[in-house]
């Protein structure tokens, strides 16, 4: 991380390896992690910290506490800034949103079966696709997910914010149907304006 930071500083006359065109840009760096170590590193370097809670939720609360407790101000950041990832599958109805959500559920199940691949089309009932053990595993991994209509998504996000106290949210949604994905982000943007958090960023990867 410090080597990366150095490459973004102005190049020195004796410097043999230079970032082109990055040298001198001092691009703000976020540290993305899913562990207590990454929280400690972000705190020690005075960097904003993003936690991958949209698929690795276990250490989120403790990691945020460690990050804020140990944060050391830096040139880039004077106060801690913690972001968390949330899956958002929003649609005009709860039923439609839950159906689209089965695409990412299947993806996680397929990965655990040793058969990763493209995001699959949704199914009517994930329980017809997977065993109870598999669905329990994926429910745990995707615990920080807001799935439903605009009001349902808003209620879930408010609950998540109350629990984790992030400074920012970054939302993502692995949809099979691109039009449904765009509609989900449209609804999420409307919900964002009613939430008491500084920013909700849209992730498109």
What is the percentage of the chain residues whose pLDDT exceeds 90? 78
- Inform me whether the pLDDT recorded for 3 exceeds 90: no
Instruction: Read off the pLDDT of residues 65-88 as tens digits, 9 standing for 90 and up.
Output: 999 999 999 999 999 999 999 999
Where helices occur in 73-177 by DSSP H, the ranges are: 94-112, 132-141, 150-164
E-assigned strands of 149-205? 168-172, 199-202
Region 78-101 average pLDDT = 97
Determine the pLDDT at residue 202. 47
Angstrom CA distances, 133 to 47, 106, 115, 127, 140, stand at 38, 13, 17, 10, 11
Instruction: Read off the pLDDT of residues 125-146 as tens digits, 9 standing for 90 and up.
Output: 999 999 999 999 999 999 999 9
pLDDT band for position 196 (50/70/90)?
Answer: low
Backbone angles phi and psi of 158, in degrees to 5: -60, -40
Determine the pLDDT at residue 70. 97
Q: Which residues of 150-161 are buried (b: 16+ CB within 10 A; e: fewer)?
A: bebbbebbbebb
Determine the pLDDT at residue 162. 93
């Amino acid at each position: 991380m410090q080597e990366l930071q150095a490459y973004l500083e102005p190049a020195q006359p004796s410097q043999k390896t230079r970032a082109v065109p990055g040298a001198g840009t001092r691009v703000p760096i976020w540290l993305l992690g899913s562990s207590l170590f990454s929280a400690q590193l972000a705190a020690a370097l005075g960097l904003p910290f993003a936690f991958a809670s949209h698929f690795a939720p276990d250490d989120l609360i403790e990691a945020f506490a460690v990050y804020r407790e140990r944060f050391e101000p830096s040139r880039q950041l004077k106060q801690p800034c913690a972001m968390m990832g949330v899956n958002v599958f929003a649609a005009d109805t709860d039923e439609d949103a839950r159906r689209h959500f089965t695409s990412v559920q299947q993806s996680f199940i397929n990965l655990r079966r040793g058969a990763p691949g493209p995001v699959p089309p949704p199914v009517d009932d994930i329980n017809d696709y997977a065993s109870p053990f598999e669905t329990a595993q994926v429910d745990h991994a995707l615990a920080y997910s807001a799935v439903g209509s605009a009001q349902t998504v808003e209620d879930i996000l408010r609950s998540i914010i109350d629990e984790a106290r992030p400074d920012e949210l970054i939302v993502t949604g692995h949809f099979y149907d691109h039009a449904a994905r765009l509609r989900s982000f449209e609804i999420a943007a409307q919900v964002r304006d009613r939430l008491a958090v500084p920013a909700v960023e849209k992730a498109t990867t």
